[in-house]
Amino acid sequence: MISISLLGPTEVTVDGRRIPASALAGRQRQILQILALEAGSAVPKDRLADLLWDGEPPASYVGTLESYVCVLRRTLGLASGRTSLLATTAKGYVLDAHAVRVDVRDVRRLITPGPSASAGDIVAGTAAALRLVGGELLVEEPYAAWAVRAREDFSRSLVAACAHAAQLANAIGDFERAERFVRHAVAMDPLCEEGWQQLMRVMWLTGRRCEALRSYAEMRQALLDELGEEPGVASQELYLAILRDTPAASARRATDEVGELRTLMLLLRQVLDVLPGVGAPASDAALTTVAARVCAEAV
């Protein structure tokens, strides 16, 4: 049995024996990484060469590639040929998906529930998937085009799964997991509106109205900075619903209201900053004066 971890530094164990990182360097490690990402599917030699040499393989790449694979098999203690766990087939090289376990594939399986999965199943599966994410995918390959594409694809899938699982967790009252999911989602993708919406919702549902409003301000700033766009209609409507909600009386009421006031001032500053020819004043004391003038001029 071979276990391959691609999330964080690449680690490989064969029948419980850990392969030293120094023995899996350069092209050998890259070949193993590419085959592990597609375990169970053959990768043609010409495609593998294109990935390894960024579209410009040497004229003698076939012999060079076969040499790399030969050394890789020896490092892993594998046989050669069609019956190997790293087999040579008519279609290319393939890792046996039944005998090779890859953490990325495990994560994808956990965040891709079957049609009969319940909300609880999906929430539990996503939580289990996050426990397997020990670091960035293919961290040793920061610039290789194939690794960049793999990271982007994996990130999109995980962010979408976390946002969806958070929505379900909020619906069934599992607020702790919902918050964990959305914090992971917006950390990976600060422009994920659905993630921010669920973060606002879990804050609101757990009595943290001020934090929910602040989350909207953070989302709005991220969208303005990166895209020059305002949040979508759904986000704005959720913000207004939270804003109109009256917080329940509590010993912390005064503190909460001061926090909400600060959040509202931050939002007011953001609005004035993007209005043509206006801009927010440096002093908080002048914010309402400028806002009142803008409103009067608009009448």
Residue 4 parent element (H or E): strand 2-5
- Which residues on neighbouring strands pair with residue 121, listed in sequence order? none
Instruction: Give the SS3 label for residue 161.
Output: helix
Kindly report, residue by residue over 41-95, the tens digit of the pLDDT.
999 999 999 999 998 999 888 999 999 999 999 999 988 878 889 999 989 999 9
Q: What pLDDT is stored for residue 81 in this prediction?
A: 78
Per-residue pLDDT for 290 more than 60? Answer: no
Q: According to DSSP H, which parts of the chain are helical? A: 26-37, 45-52, 61-76, 103-110, 119-132, 145-172, 175-188, 193-205, 209-227, 233-244, 253-274, 287-298
Q: pLDDT band for position 1 (50/70/90)?
A: confident
Q: What is the mean pLDDT of the chain?
A: 88
Looking at residue 104, its amino acid is V
Q: pLDDT band for position 265 (50/70/90)?
A: low
DSSP string, 256-282: HHHHHHHHHHHHHHHHHHHSTTT---S
Q: What pLDDT is stored for residue 287 in this prediction?
A: 59
Per-residue pLDDT for 201 more than 60? Answer: yes
Query: How much is the CA Rg of the chain, to the nearest whole Å?
Result: 26
Kindly report, residue by residue over 209-241, the tens digit of the pLDDT.
999 999 999 999 999 999 999 999 999 999 999
Asked whether 59 and 65 are in contact (CB, 8 A), the reply is no
Q: Please give the backbone phi and psi of residue 207, each rounded to the nearest 5 degrees, phi first.
A: 80, 15
Q: Percentage of residues in the chain with pLDDT exceeding 90?
A: 71
Q: What pLDDT is stored for residue 245 in this prediction?
A: 85
Looking at residue 58, its amino acid is P
Kindly report, residue by residue over 155-176, the tens digit of the pLDDT.
999 999 999 999 999 999 999 9
Q: What pLDDT is stored for residue 250 in this prediction?
A: 41
Closest by Cα among 7, 178, 214, 181 to 105: 7
| Higher per-residue confidence, 285 vs 149 | 149
Q: pLDDT band for position 137 (50/70/90)?
A: very high
Per-residue pLDDT for 118 more than 50? Answer: yes
Asked whether 90 and 103 are in contact (CB, 8 A), the reply is no
Per-residue pLDDT for 258 more than 80? Answer: no
Please state the domain extents for the chain.
2-102, 111-189
Instruction: Give the SS3 label for residue 288.
Output: helix
Kindly report, residue by residue over 181-193, the tens digit of the pLDDT.
999 999 999 999 9
Count of beta carbons in the 10 Å neighbourhood of residue 120: 12
Looking at residue 103, its amino acid is D
Closest by Cα among 104, 108, 99 to 33: 104
Looking at residue 54, its amino acid is D
Residues 106-116: what's their mean pLDDT?
A: 93
Q: Which range, of 100-104, 236-240, 244-248, 266-270, averages the lowest pLDDT?
A: 266-270
* CATH 2.102.10.10 is right for the domain spanning 2-102: no
Q: What pLDDT is stored for residue 263 in this prediction?
A: 64
Distance, first Cα to last Cα, the chain: 74
Residue 3 parent element (H or E): strand 2-5
Cα–Cα distance, 69 to 66 (Å, whole number): 5
Looking at residue 196, its amino acid is W
